[in-house]
Structure 1
Amino acid sequence: MSSNSAPKAPPYKVSVIGSGNWGSAICKIVAESASEHPEFFEAEVRMWVYEEEFNGRKLTEIINEQHENVKYLPGIKLPATVKAIPNIKEAAAGADLLVFNVPHQFLKGICAQLKDTVTPNMRAVSCIKGVELSADGISLISEYIYNELGIFCGALSGANLAPEVAQEKFSETTIAYTPSPGDAITTDIVRTLFHRPYFHVSVVNDVIGVSLCGALKNIVALASGFVDGMGWGDNAKAAVIRRGLLEMRHFGTVFFPSCENATFTEESCGVADVITSCNGGRNHRIAAAMMKTGKPIYELEAEMLNGQKAQGVSTAEEVHEFLERRDKLAEFPLFTAVYDVLFKGLDPKTLPSILEDTPSASSANTAKL
């Protein structure tokens, strides 16, 4: 993972790849920190923006003139040191640290565009809450970036609803980042870049656990949305949250034995993010709307999400295919039920019976927290 050349001395150049609401919020954070720490970072932070028109003007022009992403994060001022760039290669060129923040289904095309731009000394942090999942296997986003681009990549995930973070309401996050000895971009430097008075950072070594939490919690959020959409109340939602967290941990235990239980139960990326996502966020909102309107989930995505995606929908589909191939569906009744509600017309009112006396409920791997 390390280059044979001598590590570059600071200041380091940071580029953010992605400009949705979470990408813009993260760009605000790192640009603030970069300006406050010239001993570590260059002040200018480039942000790759997928170019589109907004009210007849290019979005990048609006961001650079008004210092606001008026489409995806309206009402939030970005530091003047943020520079929106529509060309992804230009945005990434010369960077020392790339911060990835795009929907995970677009990552393959983005990495393909960046292959000729990255250098061995670059490092990366993925803020993408997902995994590359197929029937054949699971690839963590950080691993995928490393395999495609040849640069070490950590992972950031936590109870971080983008609008609240952007409004500087207090929250915590978890970063898994373990560079090779001698790397210029150290754990302390990464923590300095992301830590703010309103955004506290905990650093761990469990990249796998952090990445899995960021993906699987979205499935639980959909289940919680079903419950709220049907008006079942807080007791039912608490039950779904508990069972969902157990299935998340069981998934890690079964398929990634090196996962640390504490990542799921003690870190912001685990239990805290599950709670937040099950009370707000796009996956919860869209699932609740599905119950109230009876509309298909993809129709609601188009109506409600302003061009963005509910990541839990694709994750639920991918996880189901993965588990079905391994004959493990019975061990994950909540994950399976979410898929069946979304894609097979299962009546969500059957959730209580589905979650009763299941293999995962009595398994030693899903013992009480």
Structure 2
Amino acid sequence: MTKLSILGAGSWGSALAMLAAENEHNVTLWTHKTSHAQNMQTSRQNPDYLKQLVFPDSIKITSDLGEAVRDADVIAFVLPTRAIRQVATELAGLNGFTSRNHLPIIMHASKGLEQGSHYRISEVLLDVLGDIFPDKELPIVALSGPSHAEEVVNHDITAITAASSNLQAAQTIQDIFTNHYFRVYTNKDIVGVELGGALKNIIALGAGILAGLSYGDNAKAALITRGLAEITRLGRRMGADPMTYLGLSGVGDLVVTATSPHSRNWQAGYQIGQGKSPQAVEADMNMVVEGMATTLACYEIAQELEVDMPITRAIYQVIAQGQAVDQVINDLMQRDKKGEIYFAQSQIDQGFIHDKEY
């Protein structure tokens, strides 16, 4: 039995807590709000995020971070990207954490890029926690893939990826969560998996916008396919294996997020397509819309690395610059004509995709 601490009691953190408890692990669920913790502990429910979920009695719920992580084998960050550094810093300041002899696995199941630094989430965690155990390398695992929390708590069949440069750590996460309805694969390309999980939220915003404007399946298919192309371009430029984007954390996560009203990013885009301002949409959403912030960070990264990302640029123009959606779509469609795919034979042989095409 593994002792697992899940930091973050939103929809996905709650679903993962339920899943691990059903697999007979020792689970503590942490939320920063005392009232939220007390309500969940008493009612065994989390109605603000997942109305259908009933927590197993074995799950301990707390707002005390020190209590939550005490002697944990795995500490899982399931928080909005903007909260990762703050909570990791609080964790690093706990005497009980810094003095422990047992090196925990640090897992995260969040999908975004840090504003300003443009760090992937594993990079944020290493930046804050990496020097605490100077004689050992802190194992960090990203759990990512096509997974609506609402469907997981209903025991719908789900398959996702645990990615880490430390394969043993990824296999531990695989063992914790895999069961008859939830299957976890391992992947050593944490760069590719994290970028896929973050960048697909941008395309999901675009898919929602198109739906809000009453465009049909043709437009949706074009957006998803070309969106995957530019995700792959940037991923390869940042050191990812392009083949990762043919897997669960690439095309899988992109399809589920860009085609379903369960997706908060799709919902936000839909409202923008219906004429609501991005600022009003974000203010009215009960949950964090990661795609908004990720669009800003990704646009800046693409500019810096000189990677062509026309869809990302178009969504940036709508969200950050307030340009009219109809005009942005027209400009996107009227760009210079090009071929769809250009591969050099050597790149085909090696599985690489050219930066400037595809």
Query: How does 1:72-151 map onto structure 2 within 5 Å?
Result: 72-117=49-94, 118=97, 119=100, 121-134=103-116, 138-150=118-130, 151=138
Equivalent AA in structure 1 for residue 104 of structure 2: M
**Structure 2 unaligned residues grouped into runs of 5+:** 131-137, 343-353
Stretches of 4+ moved more than 4 A in 1? 358-363
Change (3 A) 1:197 1:219: same
RMSD (CA atoms): 2.1
**Distance in 2, Cα, partners of 1:234 & 1:366:** 27
What displacement does 1:359 show? Answer: 7.4
1:66 aligned to 2:43? yes
Range moving further from structure 2, 153-162 or 86-95:
86-95
- Secondary structure (helix, strand or coil) at the match of 2:50 reads coil
Equivalent residue for 1:16, pick from 6, 31, 34: 6
**Distance in 2, Cα, partners of 1:61 & 1:30:** 21
**Distance in 2, Cα, partners of 1:197 & 1:366:** 42
1:225 aligned to 2:211? no
Residue number in structure 1 paired with 2:290: 311
Check conservation: 1:320, 1:336, Cα contact below 8 A: yes
Check conservation: 1:246, 1:366, Cα contact below 8 A: no
Check conservation: 2:140, 2:169, Cα contact below 8 A: no
Equivalent residue for 1:301, pick from 275, 282, 302: 282
What displacement does 1:99 show? Answer: 1.0
Residue number in structure 1 paired with 2:321: 344
**Structure 1 unaligned residues grouped into runs of 5+:** 1-10, 36-42, 53-57
Please give the TM-score of this superposition, normalised by the length of structure 2: 0.86
Equivalent AA in structure 1 for residue 243 of structure 2: A
Equivalent AA in structure 1 for residue 150 of structure 2: P
**Distance in 1, Cα, partners of 2:238 & 2:330:** 27
What displacement does 1:50 show? Answer: 2.2
1:193 aligned to 2:176? yes
- Secondary structure (helix, strand or coil) at the match of 2:355 reads helix
Query: May I ask how many residue pairs the two structures share in their alignment?
Result: 331
Please give the TM-score of this superposition, normalised by the length of structure 1: 0.84
What displacement does 1:366 show? Answer: 6.1
Residue number in structure 2 paired with 1:163: 150
Residue number in structure 1 paired with 2:248: 268
**Distance in 1, Cα, partners of 2:185 & 2:234:** 23
- Secondary structure (helix, strand or coil) at the match of 1:340 reads helix
Residue number in structure 2 paired with 1:285: 267
Give a deviation string over 1:49-89, Cα, whole Å, max 9, x none: 1216xxxxx32222222221122111211221111111222
**Distance in 2, Cα, partners of 1:263 & 1:17:** 27
Give a deviation string over 1:325-356, Cα, whole Å, max 9, x none: 44x36x11110000001122223224254144
**Distance in 2, Cα, partners of 1:25 & 1:50:** 17
Range moving further from structure 2, 337-346 or 229-238:
337-346
% identical aligned pairs: 28
